[in-house]
Structure 1
Amino acid sequence: MKSNHADYNSLSPFELKDLLIDAGSKNKKGNKLLNAGRGNPNFTCTIPRRAFHRLGLFAIEESEYSFSYLSSGIGGVPKHDGIVSRLEQYCIRNEEYLGISFIKKALSYIEDQLGIDREEFTKEIVEAILGCNYPVPPRMLALTEEVVKHYLIKEMGCNQKTNEFDLFAVEGGTAAMRYIFDSMKQNFILEKGDSVAIGVPAFTPYMEIPLLKNYSLNEIHIKSSEENGWQYTDEELNKLLDPNIKVFFCINPSNPASVKLDDRCLNKIAEIVSKHPDLIILTDDVYGTFANKFTSLFSVCPYNTILVYSYSKYFGATGWRLGTIAINKNNVIDDKIKKLNQLQHNELHDRYASLTKNVDELKFIDRLVADSRAVALNHTAGLSTPQQIQMLLFSIFSLMDVEDKYKTIVKTVIERRDSVLYKELGGSALTNNNIVGYYTLLDLVSIASKLYNKDYGEWIQNNINETDFIFNIAEKYGVVLLPGKGFGSDSASGRVSLANLNEVEYAMIGKVFKDELDYIYNNEYMKSSK
């Protein structure tokens, strides 16, 4: 059948989003716009935020105390002597406020459980939350890095010790990806024409980055499918044995399928790495905190893997732009740099000469920091210090939540939304230990086959354009989904974020999806069958 929106098929889903929102806001039924196209959660983690603002008020008092002889409105750098005692007294004076109890517990926890001196810790957080100094070290504040390492070890299922890897605090996961690709190019790890593999379906921009002119990489897809539980088959993973593939780019748990890699996949990738020891793995594990017993490739293949983690989704903090890059101290990229030819070494010496006399010993993660500020501005690099403190407080909150009460609540919220959505579609959501459910893909063919029959499903596959379907439910009902094929899915589908609307609204989305399939069945399929 003729498509009404064929011109949009080549657009990225996130470019299509604004057109769909515009169509949905003018929908024929006059319904409230339901935008399930973007994964910004409508829940936030409040206790660490309360603590952040209470600490901020204490830090301002400390600043004003330093310059108390001056007129009001002017403060100085907080005095270090006696600062812990003053913070404890501040907590006593303000114990009725939520967030104060958390601060008191955090001071006890970091000393008792992590072995961090509370005086040094208090000095760091008070000065940092004021933002009165540059980030020093620029890569990440020292004690903040130690706490975040413990958090990642807990949440990413890591078997590393904190002294085995380094962190770079960055402005969210997207900044992390940009920095990594740019530094790999600058350091001759990736050159134009090189092959990179990416697990699909995948977050669309990650598929677009390698194809940009400044990279011009050859992209190879490692495919997963609903039929295989959104896991990679051994046959697909064996593509990684090709020595020409320099990097395997993986989102785990996946986006949009929202499924974590199972043990078979993890073990198979480890086996492949043993045969292709130069392979670099870049894993984005932002949704790992929503999974049951999550294990990152960073733990399975530590020498080969760069971990990117963002606090955006789990803590409802997309606007904070909090992310980290983790790289083991002993890693494949540093070893690759050592093996570069003399001409390449000479060029890198010129690039990083302003940072150190011994460029050969400059670690890749420190090159990342420098490259993020075009090297010359390395001294002003680093994530803002108040951002780092909010990251620190989120981390401590999770570490102290030994019963995972917060995790249980947010997972339950998402699972309930998933359940009501699929109930309206005449079935139930798939459930197994690998499914995270932050997103889901509503497969047109699969759902049509279940609601009616296999013949109708096949007819949908051959006659209905995915983009048309997505636009139709926006224009008719005011529901915005993103097209699954735009994320590399082989089948026509709509991606639904289960994080950003209320439960009753997901029931409405399920009903709308079914209503449109009913309409097509009665007005197009049945007529074509006569």
Structure 2
Amino acid sequence: MDRQYFESISVLSPFEIKDELIKLARKGAEKSSKLFLNAGRGNPNWIATRARGAYFLLGQFALTEARRSYDDPKAGVAGMPPRDGCHARFVAWTKKQIANAKGWDEEENGELPAKTLADAVEFAIKKFDFNPDAFVHELTDSIIGDNYPVPDRALYHNEIITHEYLMWAMCAGHRPDAKFDLYPVEGGTAAMCYIFKALKNQRLLNAGDTIALGTPIFTPYLEMPELEDYGLHVTRMSAEQEDKFQFTDFDFETLADPKVKALFLVNPGNPSATAMTSEAISRLVNFVKTRRPDLMILTDDVYGTFVPNFESIMGHLPRNTIGVYSFSKYFGCTGWRLGVISVAQDNIFDERIQSHPEELLKVIDARYIALTPEPRKVKFIDRIVADSRDVALNHTAGLSLPQQAMMTMFGLVELMDEAKIYQEACINICVQRFNNLVEAMGVEVDVGHYFDYYYGIIDFAFWLRKYANEDIVDWVKANIHPLDIPFRLAEDHGIVLLNGSGFAAPDWSARVSFANLNDDAYSEIGRAVRSIARGYVQAYQAANGMKITG
């Protein structure tokens, strides 16, 4: 394909270019009799089984509860699960399930789901001092899905459990004293949409304001600010591969300008796959506390669970930070759409809303007057909830109860896993695939302790500069369009990778996901990448009248 075509589509999101790459890759795979390999999207090809086993069994118990209040089996109609005595009935029911599964082989099948469920419920009751009937009733009523979410922001017990899970998942290396209010939402996607909308509605970010993005970054953070809905100016705080994608003091100077109202981060990065080091976090914390205490921060920490003892910015700067987390990648549940927004109870967002001029406060008050006669007392996190349903439908806001029950199960099973066997297994899956790729590419890579192995950036310019010479890099940049890389991989090798430029990564780079293909596929991808690079070197040699090497 010619340069003119590449130029015409270079403005598209890499996720839109992906569709064309998939078509080419399927044709390329058919022509070459190779496998079609799509490493362009990060949907993991593993799932967490223990929490799911407990969840699906919980549904069976909940049905027995529903039939207690009313039952017409012929019509298939039952009532709602009752509360009184439900914990005792749950204990008796799970004991019976365990007794009836005497032939269960845990070595072959894993822990018995009834045992996982019983242990999870008792663990939660003891750890959090829950009222047993109240907690079990929340679970049964939630999984049945017979009610609207009440409270609409988060179910009482789910919020406590998810808060504790987040302190491990996001703040294992640095647990803050702060208490966070949580809003479970329909995945990280919904979290982004709701937060952008709420920041605009509270006049915390207005059209024409400037935000900083820590790049490379997940594509929607580049695209959403430019929408007519928001009209934000963007300045980039770019982490370089030469610095192992860590932000330097020089990078943080981008934030010194008071016109920069907010900093949006993905940590660990997507696609850089590198978490901020303790040193980089300390530099940012010092910068904010001494020079920009008014700076708003959004940190998207979806991949934090793939870095042992991960430290989120929300743990170090809780007053300034909105946290975003999704269960999707770690638990293999993208289809469940499970995410959560976190805002510290003591935060600058509420303070900044209250500091608006009186005339502006009256305008914002009018938006929420149908909710309460005292709209100024509505917290920022609850404004996010209301705005997620355009305020008028606030009474039906909130994540569906079956989804919140699944979130509860994921959190409890992970908290019970004190040896972190599941975390280690997930990380090892990605590490093996990463090793297969770099071995097939024939390169040596020192990614360091903070690499999450979920994604990777294959930077052709960086690679050619290291293993060939600068002249070849200059020739490639002058004669080859960056999109040639993913298109050549698709057409010649049946492989789909996304263009790194779409993530504000280096232009001559591609993003590879280590999550969604079998281990051997990454050896194939590595060999294909090496072939593409070798082809560029040979093209350079031919153009300069040199002897072509293998």
TM score, norm. by length of structure 2: 0.93
Q: CA deviation at 1:374?
A: 0.7
Q: Which AA in structure 1 matches 2:182? A: L
Deviation at residue 377 of structure 1 after TM alignment: 0.7
Match of 1:291 in 2: 307
Change (3 A) 1:16 1:69: closer
Q: 2:245 aligns with which of 216, 230, 251?
A: 230
Give the match for residue 94 of structure 1: 97
Equivalent residue for 1:45? 48
* Residue equivalent to 1:79: 82
2:108 is aligned to none
Deviation at 1:526, TM superposition (A): 1.5
SS in structure 1 of the partner of residue 78 of structure 2: coil
* Distance across 2 between alignment mates of 1:85 and 1:428: 59
**C-alpha displacement of 1:264:** 1.9
Match 1:492 to one of 496, 508, 532: 508
- 2:413 corresponds to 1:387: no
Does 2:264 align with 1:263? no
CA offset at residue 272 of structure 1? Answer: 1.8
Aligned twin of 1:219:
234
Partner of residue 12, structure 1 = 13
Give the drift of 1:380: 0.3
**What SS is found at the alignment partner of 2:221?**
helix
Residue in 1 that maps onto 2:522 = 506
- Residue aligning to 2:62: 59
Q: How far off is 1:404 after superposition?
A: 0.5
**SS at the partner of 1:113?**
helix
In structure 1, what residue type is equivalent to 2:434? Answer: D
Partner residue, 1:455: 471
Q: Is the 8 A contact 2:368 2:391 kept in 1?
A: yes
Deviation per CA, 1:452-493: give whole Å up to 9, x if none. Answer: 444333432333211012101101110000011111013410
Compare 498-507 and 233-242 and name the one that shifted more.
233-242
Structure 2 unaligned residues grouped into runs of 5+? 105-111, 546-550
Going from structure 1 to structure 2, the CA distance change for 1:51 and 1:462 (only over 3 Å counts) comes to same
Between 236-245 and 307-316, the greater mean CA deviation after superposition: 236-245
Cα distance in 2, alignment partners of residues 359 and 249 from structure 1: 28
- Partner in structure 2 of residue 159 of structure 1: 175
Alignment of structure 1 residues 109-128 onto 2, 5 Å: 109-128=123-142
Q: Secondary structure at the match of 2:56?
A: helix
Is 1:142–2:156 an aligned residue pair?
A: yes
3-state SS of paired residue (1:179): helix
Which residue does 2:107 correspond to in 1?
Answer: none
How far apart are the structure 1 equivalents of 2:418 and 2:73?
46
Report the CA distance between 1:168 and its aligned residue: 0.4
Matches within 5 A, 1:336-347: 336-347=352-363
Map residues 322-341 of structure 1 onto 2, 5 A cutoff.
322-341=338-357
Give CA deviations for 1:293-344 in whole Å, capped at 9, x if unaligned.
Answer: 2111001101100000000100011110000000011101100000111121
CA distance, structure 2, for counterparts of residue 229 and residue 69 of structure 1: 64
Q: Secondary structure at the match of 1:116?
A: coil
AA at the equivalent of 1:278: D
Tell me the secondary structure at the aligned position of residue 331 of structure 2.
coil
Q: State the 1:117 CA deviation.
A: 2.5
CA distance in 1, matches of 2:432, 2:240: 24
**Does residue 242 of the first structure (1) align with residue 260 of the second (2)?**
no
AA in 1 matched with 2:147: N
The range that moved more, 422-431 or 177-186, is 422-431
State the alpha-carbon separation in 2 of the partners of residues 175 and 398 from structure 1: 24
Map 1:299-318; keep pairs closer than 5 Å. Answer: 299-318=315-334
Identity between Structure 1 and Structure 2 (%): 38
- Unaligned stretches of 5+ residues in structure 1: none
* TM superposition shift of 1:450: 4.2
Shift of 1:161: 5.0
Does the residue aligned with 2:184 lie in a helix, a strand or coil?
strand
Q: In the alignment, which residue of structure 2 is the partner of 1:200?
A: 215
- Name the aligned partner's letter for residue 153 of structure 2: R
Deviates more, 1:198-207 or 1:92-101: 92-101
Q: CA deviation at 1:132?
A: 0.4
How far, CA to CA, are the matches of 1:518 and 1:251 in structure 2? 33
Supply the distance in 1 between the matched residues of 2:277 and 2:533 (Cα, whole angstroms): 33
Q: Name the structure 2 match of 1:479.
A: 495
Alpha-carbon separation, structure 1, partners of 2:390 and 2:273: 35
Cα distance in 2, alignment partners of residues 114 and 64 from structure 1: 29
* SS state at 2:332 partner: coil
Paired residues of 2:84 and 2:133 also in contact (CA < 8 A)? no
Paired residues, what number? 528
Secondary structure in 2 matching 1:397: helix
Q: How far apart, in 1, do the equivalents of 2:41 and 2:282 lie?
A: 32
CA distance in 2, matches of 1:278, 1:16: 38
1:8 and 1:467 in contact (8 A); partners too? no
- Structure 1 segment 150-189 matched on structure 2, within 5 A: 150-157=164-171, 159-160=175-176, 164-189=179-204
Native 8 Å contact 2:485 2:508 kept in 1:
no
Kindly provide the amino acid, as one letter, of the partner of residue 486 in structure 1. Answer: G
Secondary structure at 1:246 match in 2: strand
Aligned partner of residue 421 in structure 1, secondary structure? helix
Report if aligned partners of 1:110, 1:118 keep a CA contact under 8 Å in 2.
Answer: no
Q: Equivalents in 1 of 2:292, 2:257: separation in Å?
A: 8
| Structure 1 counterpart SS, 2:329 | coil
Whether the aligned pair in 2 keeps the contact of 1:444 and 1:460 (CA below 8 Å) is no
Inter-partner Cα distance in structure 1 for 2:440 and 2:478: 25
Aligned to 1:22: 23
Query: Partner amino acid for 1:40?
Result: N
Structure 2 equivalent of residue 408 of structure 1 = 424
2:211 counterpart SS class: strand
Give the distance between the partners of 2:132 and 2:479, measured in 1 at CA: 66
Q: TM-score, normalised by structure 1?
A: 0.97
Separation in 1, partners of 2:73, 2:454:
53
**Partner secondary structure for residue 343 of structure 2:** strand
SS at match of 2:234: strand
**What secondary structure is seen at the aligned counterpart in 1 of 2:84?**
coil
Q: Residue deviations 1:121-180, cap 9 Å, x none?
A: 101000010000100000010110000000001111152357x21000100111111111
Partners of 2:313 and 2:321 within 8 A in 1: yes
Could you tell me which residue of structure 2 aligns to residue 104 of structure 1?
118
State the Cα distance separating 1:259 from its structure 2 match.
0.2
Contact 1:419-1:428 within 8 A present in 2 as well: no
**2 CA distance for matches of 1:135 and 1:430?**
47
Give distance in 1, aligned partners of 2:350 and 2:421.
40
Residue 68 (structure 1) shift? 3.2
Aligned-residue RMSD, C-alpha:
1.5
- 1:161, 1:149 → 2: CA distance? 13
